[in-house]
Amino acid sequence: MQPYVLTVDMSGLPQAWVELEEAITYHAKNMVAWSLGNPLAVFHGGWDHQGRRSEIETKSIIAIKGSNHGAKLIGQQPGLTNNLLFNRDRYTCAYCGDHYLPKHLSRDHILPVSRGGKNSWTNVVTACRHCNTKKSNKTPEEAHMVLLYIPYVPNRYEHFILRNRRILADQMDYLMAGVPQSSRLHG
């Protein structure tokens, strides 16, 4: 499996994970303002009249010209999916503290939806099926269950880490620099 290239806007805010071919297209269209990280691939083109072959190289992180959406994206919350939630919570049940495979986990609403709770990052935690069933339609206090960690909204950098399992070391260093020290990713 080939690695993905991290694209960022002109201010350095992560925008997308793209395949190598798309990154090379950005280079070919002269849309890359700057790049960081290690070289990932060199694509070879045609031959010129002097017998030299054209080459385009891409690094693991590229900034796309004209993309500067940072200000409007900073406050935007990432979409909530079970996969991202389980990654945020490191596959750990918020009640018993055990680690599980994704198929044995579920999304628990701290304040149940049926009682006015929202389906939001700050109202959901990862729970094993046993603990979620035991808690049922109650708050943790009502079920006499201790919440072992506090849910939070991942910032954009953390969201990009949670979305990709094949992050290269230089990309991880770049993204982790934008993750708050309070994040469980630092633990």
Distance set, CA 70 to CA 12, 47, 136, 146 (Å)? 8, 40, 40, 38
Angle between helices 169-176 and 156-163 (to 10 degrees): 150
pLDDT tens for the chain, 187 residues long, are 788 999 999 889 999 999 999 999 999 999 999 999 999 988 888 888 888 888 899 999 999 998 666 555 556 788 899 999 999 999 999 999 999 999 999 999 999 999 999 999 999 999 999 999 999 999 999 999 999 999 999 998 999 999 887 899 999 999 999 998 888 787 6
Ramachandran region, residue 9 (left: φ > 0; alpha: ψ -120 to 50; beta: rest): beta
CA distance 95 to 112: 15
pTM strictly above 0.75: yes
pLDDT at 72: 59
pLDDT at 74: 59
pLDDT at 67: 62
pLDDT at 78: 86
CA distance 164 to 158: 10
**CATH fold of 82-135, please?**
DNA Binding (I), subunit A (1.10.30)
pLDDT at 114: 95
| Nearest residue to 130 (alpha-carbon basis) of 102, 88, 93, 89 | 93
Asked whether the beta carbons of 115 and 121 are under 8 A apart, the reply is: no
Q: Which residues pair with 126 in a beta bridge?
A: 107
Task: Break the chain into its structural domains and give their ranges.
Answer: 5-74, 82-135
